[in-house]
Amino acid sequence: MQGKDETRSAIPPKWPDKFLGWFCHEDHLEILRGDVYELYDERLGSMQKWQADLLFIIDILGLCRPFAFKKKSQNSTQIAMFKNYFKITYRNFIRQKVYSVLNISGLAIGLACSILIFIYINDELSFDKFHSKSDRIYRVLEKFESEGVGEHSASLPFPTGPALKNDFSRQVEHSVRFFNFQSPSLALANKAADKGFNESNIFFADSTFFNVFDFEMLAGDKETALNEPNSILITRSMVKKYFNDEDPLGKTLEFQGNQNLMVTGILEDAPKNAHFTFDFIVSFSSLKASFGGGYPTTWYWNPCWTYIVLEENTSPESLISQFPDFVDKYFPDFIKDDIELQLQPIEDIHLTSKLDYEIAANSDIKNVYIFGLVAVFILIIAAINFINLSTARANKRAKEVGVRKSLGSAKSQLVNQFIFESILLTFSALLIAVVLVVLVLPAFNGLTEKSVPISILLEPVFLLGLISAGLAIGLLSGFYPAFVLSSFKTVLVLKNGHLKTNGMNFRRVLVTTQFSISIMLIIGTFIVLKQLNFLQNKDAGFDDENVVLIPVIQSPMGQHYENFKTSALQSPHIKSMTAVEEIVGTKFQVGNYQFEGMEQSKPFPRFNVRHDFVSTMNIPLAAGRAYDQTIQTDDSLALVVNETLVESMGWESPEDAVGKRFNFRGELKGKVVGVVKDYNFASKHYPIAPLVITLNTRPGAFNLFIKYVAVKIEGDQIRPAIEDLEKAWLSVLPERPFDFFFLDDRINDAYKAEQKLSDVTLIFSGLAILVACLGLFGLATFSVEQRTKEIGVRKVLGINAGQIMYLLSKEFMILIGVAFLISIPLAYYSLNQWLEGFAFRVDIQIWPFIIAGLLAFLISSATVAFHALKASYINPVDTLKYE
Amino acid sequence: MKHTQLGEFEELVLLVVGSLLDNAYSISIKAELKEKTKRNPSIGALHSALSRLEKKGFISSHEGGATTERGGRRKRFYQITAFGRKALDQSYELRSSLYHTLPKISYAGKG
């Protein structure tokens, strides 16, 4: 395969080389440089690039030895001082192990969390930006609505793309269309190897595919690969799946059992940071076979995702301003007024687009903000720990500061020393954090469904970011302690041995901030979990349990449906069967209807079904009847609608609606026969809109309007029910693979963004609280140490353990109480903002607040109690005699 | 004479430099060490040892001509000096003389 040779010319990262040039003496530089590059090239042959990069860096760091250094005339006293600072830092670290470990581990966890979240956000923001023209690629959208009802579609009619290119040839450089029958899966088979699967990532695309998008091609010619009908490009992993890694070029794959496609190219696996991923790209002209020799010419049906590249220096507005005329020119009269075309930058799709008929569910920019906020919160908590523990510890260093001062140390020198210390500790924490990140990145990738490589940490932006973050945190958190410590009065310090604690008020503020943040995170986690639970489990108005969906689009099922149904229903485990246009509860299509009293037809959400839809999905009727197998005209002259439609038409009641007429072929001879209670036919992000449920019994409907057979099975007999279904399937369609999925699984896919959000917030707020508790633990240790003498005296005077506990925890409890009060309004406000985004949402109740408060209280009292208990065992003799 | 003492790693490097004759430069020494001793010294440690050996006068070095490998950068070749050779001989004699004083009896433990 091509592409293998590229690694030969790969170059290592630049900065270590520069670093080498910086520290290394000229006499050695050329030799050493040659050595590391030779080793690098040698390693590339046997390992991944990122591994070689890493070893390259390690090599160069390993060359930091005295023999190679420039013999600079350095200021030897300064070096000596730094050596001394280093030594003192080390000694302090060792002397106060508990503090130091708490300090560093808290910071390390905080940094690791932030790095992970940053990696996540970085990846989210990188979506669709790898195309060289990504700033000029736009997706064309169609808004087809009348008075707010209708659809906002990500896909367009077949002729739109070419017409845009043709009419606006000066502004539009290229256009490309995607089509996949709007089917969740299509069948492919390699007959020769007897391998057949239902594939979900097949797209038909215009031959201009590579003019718009930059996807890597491993074999074949980008210019011509999609020119001929019946050509197919497959990705590297699919070569493995269908051809066992043999050369597939020129071989054929059978599509849907009736069309042979020749492999004309191999693509690299589609990058995950794109709003669509593909396994197969089929030439668009192959579609002609499915539509009687040409492309559909209708401007009503809109199944093609259409992307255009604007010419350089063309503003999208200049094109949009001409869209009304374009709509007027092409779209049919009866919908013209309700159509608006729009452009959407491709880079915005992943984070902001929530349209009807998206290729796949997108993420949400809100999640990026929330994650970013959580990262900042955790960093703040960790940094506060650091500051608190350093200042609390300051007392222990008072004597050292006194001695240094009396020996002539300037204040600036002391500040330098403590900032140096803090930066040193921050960098050790950073090092640990990076190790943690490397360890958990695979798990994190699994959780967030990403594939970020570990090598991302070696990218210059990241390294620079890490180093500057370490410096910034070190400086910021070192500044205050340095300031406090260096301002001790020499004589006082030396005389007393220690000073009355400075900055206790400042510490109180910091601890309160920490706990406000932690409590807010706990409340937030509760509400997010509750909303997710609500979205996934709230009664949607139909029964999604134990419903099996079988994809049947473009299959010969149309001719065999009644046979299939009869034979399946003989099984005692299968309750009822219907067929539907889309996955119930996730998607709908739109059709034009004109009911009595309307001057012209309007678009309404529409759902094609077969008989028994209402009973299979267990949707209650509000009035009238469901479609009846015995009434022949139900197919055309009858409609079932939902309550919202009744309301929007201004009809008095569901009973009143039954019998209302609608226009069928120019005459008002159709009748509304039934009204169903409202159910969520789209995801709960959206309010319930008017809906028309229409019966479609034509066998040809299975080409387009009926995509799934829906089967209600006995809940405790799933396996036998599926076996019976498969038997029935094989009896009518022995040639086709039997494939199915459960409705409730698929419905929950619509809430993936929320699922991810709740997973991530749960984990990270847990860690944030852990870090905050580490800090509290440290502070409590300190405060107990401060008061050992006091406790000794009190013990002599007869205090008991409970009173000691009260004495020690009182102050922290007050702080947590204040934190609680501060966090309530903040949490309420921000969560309310978030919930506004859902049409169906939970109310913010009082109990998550109470639980969060209690939790914070319990965790912190447990932390403090440990120390209180230890303090109550103090032997007064030990503490009092020590002077 | 403290400076003529050979560290264990230094001795290995010195032996390898001697055995590689005209082709003793850092990478080939590293490869040879890896093959013969199964340890994989870092390039930094190796250069450090080479520079110590050179300072002690056990080896001498000269720069080779530029080739197309390593991006046209030159290599530094090392040769063992007569002094180095003598040090190796002494070390070998010392060890073998001590070795021969081992009593020929069997010891506890397997093989």
Q: Which residues of chain B have a CB within 8 Å of the CB of A61?
A: 44
The segment with the largest mean pLDDT, out of A225-239, A735-749, B33-47, is A225-239
| pLDDT one-digit tens code per residue, A77-124 | 677 777 888 888 888 888 878 778 888 888 899 999 989 988 899 899
Say what the pLDDT of residue A685 is: 82
3-class SS string, A617-657: CCCCEEEECCCCCCCCCHHHHEEEEEHHHHHHHCCCCHHHH
Q: Which residues contact A31 (CB under 8 A, 6 or more apart)?
A: B26, B63, B73, B74, B75, B76
Specify the 3-state DSSP secondary structure of A65. Answer: coil
Chain A's closest residue to B76, CA to CA, is A31
Mind telling me how many Å the CA of B107 is from chain A's nearest CA?
42
DSSP of A390-458: HHHHHHHHHHHHHHHHHTT--HHHHHHHHHHHHHHHHHHHHHHHHHHHHHHHHHHHHHHT----GGGGG
Asked if A50 contacts A441 with a C-beta cutoff of 8 angstroms, the reply is no
Judge whether B48 is closer than 8 Å to chain A, CB to CB: yes
Tell me A70's DSSP state. Answer: -
B110, exposed or middle or buried, with CB in 10 Å at 0-12, 13-18, 19+? exposed
Query: Which of B44, B51, B75 is closest, CB to CB, to A34?
Result: B75
Rounded to whole angstroms, the Cα distance separating A791 from A618 reads 70
Calpha distance A402→A486 (Å, rounded)? 9
Query: Residues near B10 by Cβ (< 8 Å), separated by ≥ 6?
Result: B49, B52, B53, B58
Q: Are A39 and B48 within 8 A, CB to CB?
A: no
**B47 contacts in chain A (CB < 8 Å):** 28, 32, 35, 63, 65, 67-68
Cα(A754)–Cα(A366) distance, integer angstroms: 10
pLDDT band per the 50, 70, 90 thresholds, residue A498: low
A681: nearest Cα among A587, A590, A609, A746: A587
Rounded distance between C-alpha atoms, residue A128 and residue A416, angstroms: 46
Q: What is the pLDDT of residue A1?
A: 40
A616-638 pLDDT, tens per residue? 999 999 999 999 988 888 888 89
pLDDT at A786 over 80: no
Is the CB of B73 less than 8 angstroms away from the CB of A30?
Answer: yes
Mention every residue, 6+ apart, whose C-beta is less than 8 A from residue A784. A791, A808, A867, A868, A870, A871
Question: In the predicted model, is pLDDT for residue A506 greater than 70?
Answer: yes
Q: Residue A666: enclosing H or E segment and its boundaries? A: none
The whole-number pLDDT of residue A396 equals 72
Looking at residue A3, its pLDDT comes to 40
- Scanning the structure block, which residue is given the tokens 């410096």? A471
Residue indicated by tokens 């509304």: A672
ipTM of this model? 0.84
What are the DSSP calls for A690-749, one per residue?
A: --EEEE---GGGGGTT--EEEEEE-TT-HHHHHHHHHHHHHHH-TTSPP--EEHHHHHHH
Using a cut of 0.80, tell me whether the model's pTM lies above it. no
Beta bridge partners of A232: A263, A282
Q: What's the pLDDT tens digit per position in A289-326?
A: 888 888 999 998 889 999 999 999 889 999 999 999 99
Q: Report whether A362 contacts A349 (CB < 8 A).
A: yes
> What is the rounded CA–CA span in Å between residue A35 and residue A844?
64
Q: Give the dihedral of Cα atoms A864, A866, A869, A871; nearest 10 deg.
A: -70
Q: How confident is the model at residue B109 (pLDDT cuts 50, 70, 90)?
A: low
Suggest the residue from A11, A30, A35 to mutate for an interface test with chain B (most B CBs closer than 10 A): A35
Residue A662's contacts (CB-CB under 8 Å, 6 or more residues apart) are A593, A594, A595, A596, A639, A668, A670, A671, A672
Q: Considering CB atoms only, which of A58, A61, A67 is closest to B48?
A: A67
Q: N- to C-terminal Cα distance for chain A?
A: 80
Average pLDDT over residues A425-453: 89
Are the C-beta atoms of A161 and A177 separated by less than 8 Å? yes
pLDDT in tens, B22-73: 888 988 999 999 888 888 888 888 998 998 899 888 999 888 877 777 777 8
Measure the CA dihedral A155/A157/A163/A164, to 10°: -20
pLDDT given for residue A544 in this prediction = 86
Model confidence at A789, pLDDT cuts 50, 70, 90, reads confident
CB neighbour burial string for A669-688, b if at least 16 within 10 angstroms, e if fewer: ebbbbbbbebbbbbbbbeeb
**Contact call for residues A264 and A232 (beta carbons, < 8 A):** yes
Q: What is the pLDDT of residue A206?
A: 94
Indicate yes or no: CB of A35 within 8 angstroms of CB of B27: yes
From A30's Cα to the closest Cα of chain B, the distance in A is: 6
Q: How far is CA A62 from the centre of its chain?
A: 39
Residue A218 phi, psi (nearest 5): -90, -30
Contact A514, A379 (CB under 8 A): no
Q: Which of A717, A525, A531, A542 is nearest to A617 (CA)?
A: A542
pLDDT score, position B104: 77
For residue A513, pLDDT over 70 is answered with: yes
3-state secondary structure of B80: strand
Q: Is the pLDDT at A875 greater than 80, yes or no?
A: no
Q: Mutate which of B23, B46, B47 to disrupt the A interface (most A C-beta within 10 Å)?
A: B47
Q: Identify which of B47, B52, B70 has the shortest CB distance to residue A38.
A: B70
Is beta strand A602-609 parallel, antiparallel or unpaired with respect to A692-695?
Answer: parallel
Cβ atoms of A270 and A238 within 8 Å: the answer is: no
Angle in degrees, CA B60, B61, B62, rounded to 5? 145
Q: What is the pLDDT of residue B1?
A: 41
pLDDT at A28 over 80: yes
Give yes or no for a contact between A663 and A601, defined as CB atoms under 8 angstroms apart. yes
pLDDT at position A451 over 50: yes
Type and span of the H or E element at A155: strand A155-156
Residues in chain B: 111
Asked if A64's CB is within 8 angstroms of B43's CB, the reply is no
CA dist list (Å): A304 to A156, A171, A289, A578, A582? 5, 21, 17, 28, 17
pLDDT of residue B3: 46
The DSSP letter of residue B77 is E
Say how far apart CA A356 and CA A590 lie, in whole Å. Answer: 10
A–B: how many Cβ contacts below 8 A?
A: 54
d(CA A109, CA A115): 10
Strand ranges in A186-256 using DSSP code E only, listed in sequence order: 186-190, 195-199, 202-205, 217-219, 231-235, 252-255
- B56 close contact with A: CB closer than 8 A: no
Q: How far apart are CA A629 and CA A627, in angstroms?
A: 7
Q: What is the pLDDT of residue B2?
A: 43
Chain B environment of A42 (Cβ under 8 Å): 27
Give the span between the Cα atoms of A403 and A494, in whole angstroms: 7
The answer for residues whose C-beta is within 8 angstroms of residue A18's C-beta and 6 or more apart is none
Q: To which residue do tokens 């009035």 refer?
A: A623
Cβ distance of B70 and A68 shorter than 8 Å = no
Please state, in angstroms and rounded to a whole number, the distance separating the CA atoms of residues A358 and A276.
9
- 3-state DSSP call for residue A777? helix
- pLDDT tens-place string over residues A540-576: 889 888 999 998 877 788 888 999 999 999 989 999 9
**pLDDT at position A455, please?**
82
Of A28, A32, A59, nearest to B42 by CB-CB distance is A59
* Residue A639 tokens, joined: 């409609």
pLDDT of A12 over the 80 cut = yes
Q: Reduce the DSSP state of residue A148 to 3 states and report it.
A: coil
Average pLDDT across chain A, whole number: 86
Q: Work out the minimum CA distance from B102 to partner chain A, whole angstroms.
A: 40
3-state secondary structure of A460: helix
pLDDT classification of A501: cutoffs 50, 70, 90: low
Task: Tell me the C-alpha distance between A351 and A123, whole Å.
Answer: 11
- Give the containing element (helix H, strand E) for B99: helix B82-100
C-alpha distances in Å from residue A766, one per residue of A345, A521, A771, B61, B84:
37, 9, 9, 60, 63
pLDDT at A505 over 80: no
**Does B76 contact chain A (CB < 8 Å)?**
yes
Give residue B13's pLDDT. 92
A531 vs A840: CA distance, rounded Å: 9
From CA A85, how far away is CA A267, in angstroms rounded?
A: 57
Q: How far apart are CA A469 and CA A112, in angstroms?
A: 12
Residue A203: pLDDT above 50?
Answer: yes
First and final CA of chain B: distance in angstroms? Answer: 39
Structure tokens at A43: 């390693």
